[in-house]
A = this chain, B = another copy of it.
Amino acid sequence: MSLSEFELIQHCFAEQAAAYTHPDVRLGIGDDCAIIGPSSGQDLLLTVDTLVAGVHFPENLPPYQIAGRCLAVNLSDLAAMGAKPAWFTLALTLPEANETWLREFSRGLFALANSADISLVGGDTTRGPLSITIQVHGYVPAGRALRRDGAKPGDQVYVSGTLGDAGAGLKLCLAGNRENSDFLVRRFVSPTPRLALGQKLLEVASAAIDISDGLLADLGHILERSAVGAELQVDWLPLSDELCELVGQNEAQKLALSAGDDYELCFCVPVERAAKLELIAEQIGVTLSHIGVITEQAGLRLINEAGQPVTSAQMGYQHF
């Protein structure tokens, strides 16, 4: 006997959700609203992202990976502000209630949710063109969230991990060349939200953002909100061997600056806290790269190791 649609969705989500419940959740799935008893002394952070098939991911991406990616990009926003994940909702629009698809989607969703200690408390399933909207909630000690508007001249600019990989991975997916580099494809499909790093950065960073639209665009948001500028050393950009081998050094730098989808953190740290930052990097085992400095002068300037300005023409851009 095949399960009815309702039972299917119930089984794929409500039963899985019951496996882990955040202690503040008073009532999860199954009533008109979820009920939360918020922790005191904490600020509640929330963010929502929609991913549309054919726009934010290739239509043929396996449902396990779609689910993981959707949750990961939301968790990344919590990471960027130093929040500890708490609970989330899922609004899923899909063309048909296909059992295999739903089971795989659910498996991918809860694999990441359980590892991030975030519990599903509600949602909505509707019929229509495939799209997924996830809203995540997390906690930060009151008044301590890492915002975009705290960067000061002299602060050092850092990024986690390597940049540009996901942009190349997406191109491989779209061109049907996934076999060319498992590593790069995985960097697009399964980004790692830097949750442990984000929470540790509360102790040292003055501003932070996650890199979804590319380093230039996202660091640009910090500069704008903080009313400062920055000077970046293009030769200090962290590039993976896999990326440089596939596209060469110059193209790799371009992808690192503007491709997006890496979901690494870009953040600013006052010089006197740089030693503490090194300890943090060792503790959590994430590579952090110093890539530049915040300046009083507005705008974002790229320079090479000789200290010479790198023009947009040299990088092959029209604008940045």
Contacts and interface: CB of A to CB of B under 8 A. Distances in A.
A27 B43 CA distance: 10
A129 B148 CA distance: 32
A119 interface: no
A124 B81 contact: no
A37 B128 contact: no
Interface in A21-52: 26-27, 30-38, 40, 42-52
A118 B152 CA distance: 34
How many chain copies does the complex carry?
Answer: 2
Given A27-B147, A46-B89, A48-B91, A128 B126 contact: no
B30 A37 contact: no
A128 B44 contact: no
Contact of A50 (B40, B91, B138, B225): B91
Nearest to A51: B126
Given A52-B93, A52-B127, A52-B128, A46 B33 contact: yes
Interface of A: 26-27, 30-38, 40, 42-56, 77-78, 80-81, 83, 89, 91, 93, 121-124, 126-129, 131, 133, 135, 138, 140, 142-143, 145, 147-149, 209-210, 225
Given A26-B143, A52-B93, A56-B126, 18 more contacts: A31-B81, A31-B149, A32-B148, A33-B45, A33-B138, A33-B145, A34-B45, A36-B45, A37-B142, A38-B38, A46-B122, A49-B91, A50-B91, A51-B126, A52-B129, A54-B128, A93-B131, A128-B129
A53 B49 CA distance: 19
A33 B77 contact: yes
B81 A33 contact: yes
B50 A133 contact: yes
B126 A55 contact: yes
8 contacts: A27-B147, A34-B47, A38-B44, A48-B89, A50-B93, A91-B133, A93-B131, A135-B135
Contacts of A52: 93, 126-129
B127 A128 contact: no
A83 B36 CA distance: 12
A194 B11 CA distance: 32
A254 to B, nearest CB: 23
A207 to B, nearest CB: 10
A43 B26 contact: yes
Contacts of A147: 27, 31
A34 B50 contact: no
A234 to B, nearest CB: 25
Given A44-B35, A47-B122, A89-B46, A30 B131 contact: no
